[in-house]
Amino acid sequence: MRRTTGRLADGREIIYFDDTPDAPARDAVDTRDLPRAQPLSEVRRDPLTDEWVAMAAHRQTRTYKPPADLCPLCPSTPGKPTEIPEPSYDVAVFENRFPSFAESVPDLPAAVDGMPMVARAAGRGRCEVVCFTSDHNSSFGRLPVSRVRTVVDVWADRTSALGALPGVEQVFPFENRGEEIGVTLHHPHGQVYGYPFVTPRTERVLSASRRYREAHGRPLVGDVLAAERAAGTRVVAEGEHWTAFVPAAARWPVEVHLVPHRQVPDLPALTDAERDDFAALYLTVLHRLDALYDRPLPYIAAWHQAPVRTGRDLAWLRLEVFSVLRTADKLKYLAGSESGMGVWINDATPEQIAERLRA
């Protein structure tokens, strides 16, 4: 894989990852007249939950559902420059023009005015867009296994790069697919966030993992994986190095976890064999998900990795893929119990979901 770095018209970084042997040099110039981005992200800590909340008002003006011929993630063509200056690409990564977190955010007072119990800080971090293919009409599940393998290497590359930035505490690669999820650009793409804090979900999982290890002397996720593989009733697909299963306490109407058989903290720690195996297994899972309702399934694919500096001995890498679609034409809404109290109610059992996906 060849890696080429460049700059867009407003100074943002763009990186090309080419797996095509005869790919041309990536030296096209961004001809757009773009002002320098001035994101004003901030984070505030909720005193009732002790969780950070991010605020990025500048994102209100981001691109919203453009027509296909004006897609900003497609390659540039004469008279139609996009976020990607080249006329073609394999995988491209660039800094988000409308980031939730950014490196250049100015300092802020340590607390909200008149509210000393509400901590406040600059939303420093980094947000990147990952374009999986130049084909606007494709999807992740339709990529060849070789391209998925390239994307795994890209995720690992960006995890290392963002994790090395000052102030970044956790790196989160993810993909949103489908309008039901809230996607505003239909070109196949994902994102990578470099958070300036450890996310609430990760904190809870690490806390549970710490208590379990103290009580049993073994890793929590490892024991969950072993039990799921032994039971088999919720396993959807298996590879040599990974297993995909519906978790026994699934919250979403469709939810699959892909877990490596070896404890690794993050994507960079995966071996070549583990990356190869994941690429093939993940495509199998995505094909089953699309076959579930005989339509492209809207989903979120979320990588759970160890924080940059804490809990790395407790963490166990996994990918969680889940959907809000509970039938072919009905959505799972986060209503009173889920949104108000955080108590999830699922309309199907994990065993039923896994059986349907296996079929």
pLDDT in tens, 336-350: 999 999 999 998 999
What amino acid positions are annotated as catalytic residues? 189
**The pLDDT value given to residue 39:** 84
Same domain for 295 and 218, yes or no, is yes
Where is the domain boundary, 165, 197, 229?
197
| pLDDT exceeds 70 at position 315 | yes
pLDDT in tens, 180-218: 998 989 999 999 999 999 999 999 999 999 999 999 999
Same domain for 156 and 229, yes or no, is no
Region 81-93: mean pLDDT is: 97
C-alpha distance from residue 47 to each of 103, 243, 338 (Å): 26, 39, 21
Locate 93 and state its tokens: 């990564």
Q: Binning pLDDT at 50, 70 and 90, where does residue 175 land?
A: very high
| pLDDT exceeds 90 at position 59 | no
Region 86-97: mean pLDDT is: 97
Mean pLDDT of the chain: 95
Locate 309 and state its tokens: 């500096």
d(CA 264, CA 256): 19
Same domain for 257 and 349, yes or no, is yes
Same domain for 87 and 180, yes or no, is yes
**Percent share of the chain, pLDDT over 70:** 97
**The pLDDT value given to residue 36:** 86
Low-confidence winner among 16-20, 97-101, 228-232, 255-259 (lowest mean pLDDT) = 97-101
Query: The domain that contains 276 carries what CATH number?
Result: 3.30.428.10
**The pLDDT value given to residue 67:** 77
Contact 8, 14 (CB under 8 A): yes
Same domain for 190 and 225, yes or no, is no
d(CA 48, CA 9): 43
**The pLDDT value given to residue 131:** 98
Please choose, from the candidates 68, 205, 91, 203, the residue with its C-alpha nearest in 3D space to the C-alpha of residue 137: 68
The number of domains in the chain is 2
Counting Cβ atoms within 10 Å, is residue 203 exposed (0-12), middle (13-18) or buried (19+)? middle
Same domain for 124 and 265, yes or no, is no
Q: Binning pLDDT at 50, 70 and 90, where does residue 64 land?
A: low
Same domain for 8 and 143, yes or no, is yes
Where is the domain boundary, 151, 169, 197?
197
Helix or strand run (H / E) with residue 14: strand 13-18
Same domain for 85 and 67, yes or no, is yes
**The pLDDT value given to residue 60:** 54
Where is the domain boundary, 146, 179, 197?
197
d(CA 103, CA 126): 6
d(CA 148, CA 176): 16
* Count of positions (residues) in the chain: 359
Q: Binning pLDDT at 50, 70 and 90, where does residue 62 land?
A: low
Same domain for 263 and 157, yes or no, is no
**Percent share of the chain, pLDDT over 90:** 91
Same domain for 26 and 116, yes or no, is yes
Same domain for 190 and 231, yes or no, is no
Locate 61 and state its tokens: 């003006």
- What is the span of the domain harbouring residue 191? 2-197
**The pLDDT value given to residue 162:** 98
pLDDT in tens, 137-174: 999 999 999 999 999 999 999 999 999 999 999 999 99
Same domain for 33 and 138, yes or no, is yes
Residue 268 amino acid letter = P
Better pLDDT: 226 or 106:
226
